[in-house]
Amino acid sequence: MSLRTLRFLTAGESHGPMLVGILEGLPAGVPIDFARVDADLRRRMAGHGRGKRMKIESDTARFVGGIRLGETLGSPVAWLIENRDWVNWQQVMSVAPTGSGGVAESGNTPGPVETRRITRPRPGHADLAGGLKYDRADLRDILERASARETASRVAAGAVARQFLECLGIRVASHVTRIGPAAYAESADAVPFDAAVAVEESPVRCVDTAVAKAMIDAIDEAHNELETLGGTFEVIAAEVPTGLGSHVQWDRRLEARLGHALLSIQAQKGVEIGPAAWCATQPGSRAHDPILSDEHDRFARPSNHAGGTEGGMTCGSELRLTVHMKPLATLRQPLPSVDIETGEAVDAVVQRSDVCAVPAAAVVGEAMVALVLADACLEKFGGDSLRETKRNYEGYLEQMARYPEH
């Protein structure tokens, strides 16, 4: 439901040889800066509280289709992201049969076995539900694909979509507002877009240095207590034109498409459009944004409580989306579980994990918002070439400037 014009697929397992991605539907002629794609992949890997896997991987996207001489061709764009940790998992994740039955993994140590079978599902993960659904006796068959390692390919796709959006003047950024107990006061003013752009120097991607320190302290304390932390981030899109999405059918409403895309990110549990929780406590006279006339006799809003959408469409204000992430479900002090083979009560298997991945999730959130906005722009403006799309877009802006002239 998220994408109606673009098509986006990923493939690959967390410890397989590589991740694969295909993005179809971009017009020809979009300039692609490969260094910027890799820069976004590095942003996804950064952040205080990340685990040992990020010290192994050094993600880069190798484009293998749909681009020639630095420009899209209008054909599907395809890329590969190699898993450097594959060298340690070639037998475990072999595509061909190994001829070994393997031994179930136990405790913190995988052990000197070939398949490292997992029979102790982890609460909060896809392990048990996926094992039941797909009838798998080894839960590794589930967790390898359910892993958030898959988001590296999403970030690559979002980086390409972002470069298309910038051709239309649309920009996307994010910042972290909460990690565990450390957060902005509820009364804090909205973070300006440019401040979110400049947040990369913070190890937790937070614009407020005092709050950032509290976040780092909370992560360190959680690490010492063998705990994990979730939190909240905001994705902001600026210079988004009015009219993306539609009110005419339920699955065309942009809020629904954005919510679908953001909730598809592993461990994300809630999405707000604008200050939705605050609006729910207010009378309508305070919750909605008045329509005023600006100095050019056009429409202006003194506030943005709607978060950039009205009636399923963008309304010309900044698009602001708040996403809530649960604490990571892989714990070093595992929760109770049940062995799927023996039925006995056990502790869940322990896998390598981050303490906190909220800053990384914010980068993935940017990618998903960029993909949905690129899709909505192509749905609205069409075009087989970038020049055609831009011509249609500029014509639409001229039409709005003359509204309601017929």
Specify the pLDDT at position 186.
Answer: 59
The closest of 12, 268, 51 to 145, measured between CA atoms, is: 12
Which whole-number Å values give the CA distances from 164 to 170, 213, 319, 347, 394, in the listed order?
9, 35, 18, 48, 15
The pLDDT confidence band at residue 55, using thresholds 50, 70 and 90, is: low
Quote the mean pLDDT of the chain. 92
* Token code pair at residue 398: 């001229």
Which residues form the domain of 84? 7-91+116-402
* The 3-state secondary structure of the chain, one letter per residue: CCCCCCEEEEECCCCCCEEEEEEECCCECCECCHHHHHHHHHHHHCCCCCCCHHHHCCCCCEEEECEECCEECCCCEEEEEECHHHHHCCCCCCCCCCCCCCCECECCECCCCCCCECCCCCCCCCHHHHHHHHCCCCCHHHHHHHCHHHHHHHHHHHHHHHHHHHHCCCEEEEEEEEECCEECCCCCCCCCHHHHHHHHHCCCCCCCHHHHHHHHHHHHHHHHCCCCCCEEEEEEEECCCCCCECCCCHHHCHHHHHHHHHHCCCCEEEEEECCHHHHCCCCHHHHCCCCEECCCCCEECCCCCCCCEECCEECCCCEEEEEEECCCCCCCCCCEEECCCCCCEEECCCCCCCCCCHHHHHHHHHHHHHHHHHHHHHHHHCCCEHHHHHHHHHHHHHHHHHCCCC
Question: Are the C-beta atoms of residues 139 and 130 closer than 8 Å to each other?
Answer: yes
* Residue 105: inside a domain: no
Specify the pLDDT at position 298.
Answer: 83
Asked if pLDDT for residue 101 goes beyond 60, the answer is no
Number of C-beta neighbours around residue 70 at 10 A: 10
Average pLDDT for 326-337: 92
Question: Are the C-beta atoms of residues 235 and 274 closer than 8 Å to each other?
Answer: no
The closest of 335, 320, 323, 332 to 289, measured between CA atoms, is: 320
The pLDDT confidence band at residue 288, using thresholds 50, 70 and 90, is: very high
Specify the pLDDT at position 221.
Answer: 96
Question: Distance between CA atoms of 200 and 44, rounded to whole angstroms?
Answer: 11
Residue 314 main-chain phi, psi, to 5 deg: -65, 145
* Token code pair at residue 315: 């309304």
Percentage of the chain modeled with pLDDT above 90? 83
Asked if pLDDT for residue 109 goes beyond 70, the answer is no
Specify the pLDDT at position 332.
Answer: 85
Asked if pLDDT for residue 106 goes beyond 80, the answer is no
Question: Distance between CA atoms of 157 and 159, rounded to whole angstroms?
Answer: 5
* Residue 108: inside a domain: no
Residue scoring higher pLDDT (57 or 371): 371
The pLDDT confidence band at residue 71, using thresholds 50, 70 and 90, is: very high
* Residue 308: inside a domain: yes
Residue with tokens 């809003």: 301
CATH number assigned to the domain comprising residue 240 = 3.60.150.10
> Looking at 55-69, 106-120, 318-332, which range is the least confident one?
106-120
> What's the structural domain count of the chain?
1
* Residue 98: inside a domain: no
* Residue 208: inside a domain: yes
* Residue 33: inside a domain: yes
* Residue 58: inside a domain: yes
Each residue's pLDDT tens digit, 190-222? 899 999 999 999 999 999 999 999 999 999 999
Each residue's pLDDT tens digit, 348-386? 988 777 999 999 999 999 999 999 999 999 999 999 999
Question: Distance between CA atoms of 171 and 163, rounded to whole angstroms?
Answer: 9
Each residue's pLDDT tens digit, 172-182? 999 999 999 99
The pTM of the full predicted model, rounded to 2 decimals, is 0.94
Specify the pLDDT at position 103.
Answer: 45
* Residue 344: inside a domain: yes
The closest of 52, 58, 49 to 108, measured between CA atoms, is: 52
Specify the pLDDT at position 113.
Answer: 44
Residue with tokens 């249609």: 392
Each residue's pLDDT tens digit, 220-272? 999 999 999 999 999 999 999 999 999 999 999 999 999 999 999 999 999 99
Percentage of the chain modeled with pLDDT above 70? 93
Average pLDDT for 297-321: 94
Question: Distance between CA atoms of 153 and 59, rounded to whole angstroms?
Answer: 10
Average pLDDT for 24-40: 98
Specify the pLDDT at position 98.
Answer: 74
Burial 90-115 (b: 16+ CB within 10 A, else e): eebbeeeeeeeebebbbeeebeeeeb
